[in-house]
Amino acid sequence: MKRYSAFAIAREAARYHSGWERAWRSPEPKKSYDVVIVGAGGHGLATAYYLGKNHGITNVAIIEKGWLGGGNTGRNTTIIRSNYLQDESAAIYEKARSLYENLSQELNYNVMFSPRGVMMLAQTEHEIRGYKRTEHANRLQGIETRFIGPKEVKKLVPIIELNGPRYPVLGALWQPRGGTARHDAVAWGYARACSDMGMDIIQQTEVTGIKQARGKVTGVETTRGVIACKKLGMVVAGHSGVLADMAGFRLPIESVSLQALVSEPIKPCMDVVVMANTVHGYMSQSDKGEMVIGGGADGFNNYSQRGSFHHLEETVRALIETFPIVSRLKMLRHWGGIVDMTGDRSPIISKTPLGNTFINCGWGTGGFKSIPGSGWAMAEMMATGEPGDLAAGFGLDRFREGRFIDESVAAGVAH
């Protein structure tokens, strides 16, 4: 694989860009692999990458029924933060955030990580108490956050309206090293690195069945034939329950659509990420000038990747109170992503009832920010057979044992 650099750009410019090679290979599937990972989104590709980088396992196939990064990885609002209350959550999200900081250099691919800072508004007295509690917890966890007052909020976000008609801004939990990254580039960077290690990324290939013998998976049935494997990783976001059903076990999750939209491009006016959990809306400005807007997940189970008017109206109406500028913008694009929700709104990184099969799912609306940490933890578990420190708390057995990692209550919002 040729390295990308300023010198490479100059060289290719001199020969009319005729020497660029494909970023990753599109091979025919082999009959057998040491590891098969189902799902070529950010989490699946990161798992494969860290299997190779950290554990030397490169005889790997990543199977994707659509196109690489075409699921939730390309359908999110790109927020990266780690200011969670529960220790297990804070550890894996902070691992991911720290990996994001150097990911462009590591992958030799610009993922456009922007540590612009993430602000979570406190608009009720209850939220003030909750965020101050999180600030103290983050200090113990070694995560840099602090609670700031309305004046500092206004200084950081001049377009904000502090004295809204229903919910005035009373302060905010501020994580200066949070931010955003380009979602597609994260998937493309990991894919390029995996391909360079000799791994096979097999797109447009749907898994239709899972072959088993003596309590273990022996391979997967696909639309391109049977592929044998020694270990299987399931990393398919909103379709985790469908794949688990093929394997013969059930998951404590439900799938819903999470919708988002972007406005027409405007001049730079907001260089931080703002989350307003009381009214349930969040917004940032992309490098192209679009206002990236998101809200809560749908209130009913579905597998839709389309937007709906009622959700758009609800999200924008809430944000207009805090950001009056939104009322004058035109919508450019609107979409949905399928997310899988657990009861405690925390993920599952776990062994399964099948001895050589592992699953990574249940990230709800917070999957993008966790990609590097999730892949690191999943790769460690698949390589060793046991969860490491990052994944230990997120096993399936926690639902049977009642030891929930309840971020829905702790954060007041799923993402």
Question: Contact, 223 vs 209, CB < 8 A?
Answer: no
Instruction: Quick: pLDDT tens for 292-327.
Output: 998 888 888 888 888 787 778 888 888 898 999 889
CA angle 190, 194, 196 (to 5 degrees): 120
Residues 174, 259, single domain; the answer is: yes
Strands (E), 236-322: 253-263, 273-276, 281-285, 291-297
Instruction: List Cα–Cα distances, 242 to 61, 294, 305, in angstroms.
Output: 20, 26, 17
Q: Give residue-wise pLDDT tens across range 385-405.
A: 999 999 999 999 999 999 999
* 269 domain-assigned: yes
* Whether the predicted pLDDT of 342 surpasses 60: yes
For residue 87, being part of any structural domain is answered with no
206 within some domain: yes
Residues 284 and 222 in one domain: no
Same domain, 264 and 174: yes
**7 inside domain:** no
Tell me which residue range forms the domain holding 376.
25-78+183-252+344-411
Same domain, 267 and 398: no
Of the three residues 342, 365, 392, the one that is the final residue of a domain is 342
Asked if 330 and 350 sit in the same domain, the reply is no
**In the prediction, which pLDDT does 246 show?**
94
Q: CA-CA distance, 261 to 92, in Å (whole number)?
A: 28
**pLDDT over 80 (residue 408):** no
- Percent of the chain at pLDDT > 70 equals 98
Last residue of one domain, picked from the residues 285, 317, 342: 342
Residues 72, 207, single domain; the answer is: yes
* Residue 188 identity (one-letter amino acid): W
161 touches 321 (CB < 8 A):
yes
Question: What is the total count of domains within the chain?
Answer: 2
| DSSP β-bridge partners for residue 331 | 263
The reply to whether 171 and 262 lie within a common domain is yes
Q: Which of 153-157, 204-208, 259-263 has the lowest mean pLDDT?
A: 259-263
Q: Cβ neighbours of residue 15 under 8 Å, at least 6 residues apart?
A: none
Residue (of 266, 104, 74) closest to 184 by Cα position: 74
Of 347, 358, 343, 385, which Cα lies nearest the Cα of 88? 347
123-159 residue pLDDT tens: 999 999 999 999 999 999 999 999 999 999 999 999 9
More confident residue, 47 or 15: 47
Q: Which of 342, 376, 391 is the last residue of a domain?
A: 342
DSSP code at position 198: T
In a domain, 124, yes or no: yes
The neighbour count for residue 354, using CB atoms within 10 Å, is: 19
